Structure 1
Amino acid sequence: MANTMQFDLVSPERLLASLQVSAVQIPGADGDMTAMPDHAPTITTLRPGVLKVEGPEGTSEYLVTGGFAQIGADSLSVLAEKAIPVTEVTRAHLDELIAEARSSHEAAKGQEHTSVVDDAAKLLADMEALGTHMGL
């Protein structure tokens, strides 16, 4: 069993991380999970939350707003809708993300399908809870 695996975190704006890691805690849409070397192959969607990366240089955290994670035995690739290092997140960032989620929720209210409204409401609730979790 290898002690590390390749981890890549990409957002539409940039490559945020590409390094060897020992574990990554993922805010999965169906619940939090930890990917480690020799993990069973898995693809999961992400919910808004904090992605925690543990590597030889220490721990780093990234706020993600959604996306996908592809986990393999020796690698993990995260394609995030938006990702920001937690050390760079300000109240203004969070307010902007909450405003976007609120706008999406308002726009969804006119939809015929209740699942669209429910998804938008969950996104808004997740974004607001994220601010509380981060102490912002």
Structure 2
Amino acid sequence: MALQLNIVSPEKELFNGEVSQVTLPGLLGQFTILPNHAPIVSSLKKGEIIYVAGNKECKLEINGGFVELSNGNVSVCVS
């Protein structure tokens, strides 16, 4: 089972695809979302988003933003 991850900034879409996990820099610390994770909404601080697409680990530096997870869809808006 996979997650559908969509990362957008005000300027453009940065990533849209299936991932097996995504790690995010939450305000209270780093956390990882895996398939079947409970729904969540969280603010994000400056740091790194790390996601695994296929066999490749990808990293993206952000200045902040927020994330919403619902029904296996992870939506991230970053600055």
Do the two structures share a fold, i.e. TM-score over 0.5? yes
How far apart in 1 are the matches of 2:38 and 2:25?
17
Aligned match of 2:63: 65
Equivalent residue runs for 1:1-136 within 5 Å: 3-81=1-79
The answer to which structure has the higher strand fraction is 2
Runs in 1 of length 4+ with deviation above 3 angstroms? none
How far apart in 2 are the matches of 1:41 and 1:19?
19
Identity between Structure 1 and Structure 2 (%)? 30
Structure 1: unaligned runs, 5 residues or longer: 82-136
Shift of 1:57: 4.6
How far apart in 2 are the matches of 1:68 and 1:21?
18
**TM-score (structure 2 length as normaliser):** 0.94
Q: Give the alignment's Cα RMSD to 1 decimal.
A: 0.9
**TM-score (structure 1 length as normaliser):** 0.56
Largest Rg, 1 or 2: 1
The answer to which structure has the higher helix fraction is 1
- The question of whether the paired residues in 2 share the 8 Å contact of 1:22 and 1:55 is answered with yes
Number of equivalenced pairs: 79
How far apart in 2 are the matches of 1:26 and 1:37?
15
Structure number with the bigger relative contact order (C-alpha 8 A, sep ≥ 6) is 2
Structure 2: unaligned runs, 5 residues or longer: none
